[in-house]
C-alpha cells in the first residue's frame, strides 16, 4: 500500500525531534509548523524513537499508559467477528489487546456453546472442537495502519516475539488519506496518534468514511487537565522531568520536549468533541482518565 504524501503520524508518549524542512503556509498547530516540513520532521521523529518507544512510554507514564489502553479496550468491548482499524497503531499495543480481548470472549462463547451441547455424543463434541479450533478469534481482524515504516517494523517484530499472527495485518498508510475503501470497518481507533496529524479534520473525515454505518470511532489522547493544582503538578512533571527522561533513556531531549509541547497545543475535550461532531459522527462523548490527563472520545457513524 502506498503512502500518499502528507502528515498523519501517530505519536504515543515517545517522540524524537529532527530537522524540519521549510513548510507551506498552512495554519499549523504545535511546535512544528504545518506544511510538508512538519510531516517529514515528525516522520523522522518516529523513525528515530521507534526502538525505544515502549520503554519511553513506560518510563514517562510509570506504566500507566497500559491501563489507559486496557480501559480503551474495555470501552470498545468488541465481540468476535469485529473488524478493527487501528490508525497510527505503530507498535501494536492496541492491536494486541484487541486480539487478547476477542480471544477471551470467543473462549467464553465456545464454553457456553459446549454447555448447551452436553447431550451430544463424544464424537459430536470432538467434531465441534475441530471446527472451532481454527477459529479462536471468531473471524475478528485488526488492521494496524501507520505512516511510519520503522514503527510498523517494531510492531511486526513485537508481534512475532509475542506470538501474534492470525487476524493481524500491517498497512503503511496516512491518517489523512487512508488507503481503504468506504464503509469497511466496524471500529476505528487512534491511540495517541491524532495529536500528530496536521489536519485533524481530514483524519476525522477519513475515519467517518471508512467506518461502516453503525461503526464506532474511538480516540485515546492526551487532553486538558482542568484541576488547577493538578495542572501545575502535571506541568512541572511534564516540562521538568519528561525531557530529562528522554535524554537519559533515549538520548533525545528534543523529541520529548516536542511531545510535551504538542500535548499542550492539542484541543481540549470539548473542542475535540465538536470537531468529531463536525465530521458527521453522532452520540459523541468523552471520558476523562486521570483527571483529564488523557481522554477517550467516542462517536458513531449512524
91 labeled binding residue: yes
Residue that the C-alpha cell 507498535 belongs to: 91
Closest CA to 73 of 150, 172, 140, 170: 140
- Asked if 228 touches other proteins (CB under 8 A), the answer is yes
Helix (H, G, I), strand (E, B) or coil at 172: strand
Q: Do residues 223 and 292 lie in contact, with contact meaning Cβ atoms separated by under 8 Å?
A: yes
State the alpha helices, DSSP H only, in the chain.
36-49, 53-61, 64-76, 93-116, 122-133, 149-162, 200-210, 228-236, 242-245, 253-265, 269-278
**DSSP string over 28-68:** --SSSPSSHHHHHHHHHHHHHHGGGHHHHHHHHHTTHHHHH
In the list 153, 158, 212, 268, the residue contacting other proteins (rule: CB under 8 A) is: 268
Closest contact distance (angstroms) between CB of 24 and other proteins is 13
- Asked if 257 touches other proteins (CB under 8 A), the answer is yes
Q: What angle do CA 254, 257, 259 make, to 5 degrees?
A: 110
Q: Do residues 106 and 137 lie in contact, with contact meaning Cβ atoms separated by under 8 Å?
A: yes
146 labeled binding residue: yes
139 labeled binding residue: no
- Asked if 249 touches other proteins (CB under 8 A), the answer is yes
- Asked if 239 touches other proteins (CB under 8 A), the answer is yes
Q: Do residues 91 and 116 lie in contact, with contact meaning Cβ atoms separated by under 8 Å?
A: no
Q: Which stretch binds other proteins (CB under 8 A): 86-94, 95-103, 148-156, 227-235?
A: 227-235
CA dist., res. 284 & res. 282, Å (int): 5
Considering only residues 272 through 301, tell me which ones interact with other proteins, judged by CB under 8 A: none
Site string for other proteins, 10-49 (x = CB under 8 A): -------xxxxxxx-----xxxxx---x---x--------
- Asked if 241 touches other proteins (CB under 8 A), the answer is yes
Q: Which stretch binds other proteins (CB under 8 A): 103-111, 234-242, 280-288, 291-299?
A: 234-242
**101 or 266: whose CB is closer to other proteins?**
266
- Asked if 251 touches other proteins (CB under 8 A), the answer is yes
Q: Which residues bind other proteins (CB under 8 A)?
A: 17-23, 29-33, 37, 41, 224, 228, 231-232, 234-236, 239-241, 243-245, 247-249, 251, 253-254, 257-258, 260-261, 264-265, 268
Q: Which residues are annotated as a binding site?
A: 91, 146, 174-175
Q: Which residues are annotated as a binding site for S-adenosyl-L-methionine?
A: 91, 146, 174-175
Amino acid at each position: 500500500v502506498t503512502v500518499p504524501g502528507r502528515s498523519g503520524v501517530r505519536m504515543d508518549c515517545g517522540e524524537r525531534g529532527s530537522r524540519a524542512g521549510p513548510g507551506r503556509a498552512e495554519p499549523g498547530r504545535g511546535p512544528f509548523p504545518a506544511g510538508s516540513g512538519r510531516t517529514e520532521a515528525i516522520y523522522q521523529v518516529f523513525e528515530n524513537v521507534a526502538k525505544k518507544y515502549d520503554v519511553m512510554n513506560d518510563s514517562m507514564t510509570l506504566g500507566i499508559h497500559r491501563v489507559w489502553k486496557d480501559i480503551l479496550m474495555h470501552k470498545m468491548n468488541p465481540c468476535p467477528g469485529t473488524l478493527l482499524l487501528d490508525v497510527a497503531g505503530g507498535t501494536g499495543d492496541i492491536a494486541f489487546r484487541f486480539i487478547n480481548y476477542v480471544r477471551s470472549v470467543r473462549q467464553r462463547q465456545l464454553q457456553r456453546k459446549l454447555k448447551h451441547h452436553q447431550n451430544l455424543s463424544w464424537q459430536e463434541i470432538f467434531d465441534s472442537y475441530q471446527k472451532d479450533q481454527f477459529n479462536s478469534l471468531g473471524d475478528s481482524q485488526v488492521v494496524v495502519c501507520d505512516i511510519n515504516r520503522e514503527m510498523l517494523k517494531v510492531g511486526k517484530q513485537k508481534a512475532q516475539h509475542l506470538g501474534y499472527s492470525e487476524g493481524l495485518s500491517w498497512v503503511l498508510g496516512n491518517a489523512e488519506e487512508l488507503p481503504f475503501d468506504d464503509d469497511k470497518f466496524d471500529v476505528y481507533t487512534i491511540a495517541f496518534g491524532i495529536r500528530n496529524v496536521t489536519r485533524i479534520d481530514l483524519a476525522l473525515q477519513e475515519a467517518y468514511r471508512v467506518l461502516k454505518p453503525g461503526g464506532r470511532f474511538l480516540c485515546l489522547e492526551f487532553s486538558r487537565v482542568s484541576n488547577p493544582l493538578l495542572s501545575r503538578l502535571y506541568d512541572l512533571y511534564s516540562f521538568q522531568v519528561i525531557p530529562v527522561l528522554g535524554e537519559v533513556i533515549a538520548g533525545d531531549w528534543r523529541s520529548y520536549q516536542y511531545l510535551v509541547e504538542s500535548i499542550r497545543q492539542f484541543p481540549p475535550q470539548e473542542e475535540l468533541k465538536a470537531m468529531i461532531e463536525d465530521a458527521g459522527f453522532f452520540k459523541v462523548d468523552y471520558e476523562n482518565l486521570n483527571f483529564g490527563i488523557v481522554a477517550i472520545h467516542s462517536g458513531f457513524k449512524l
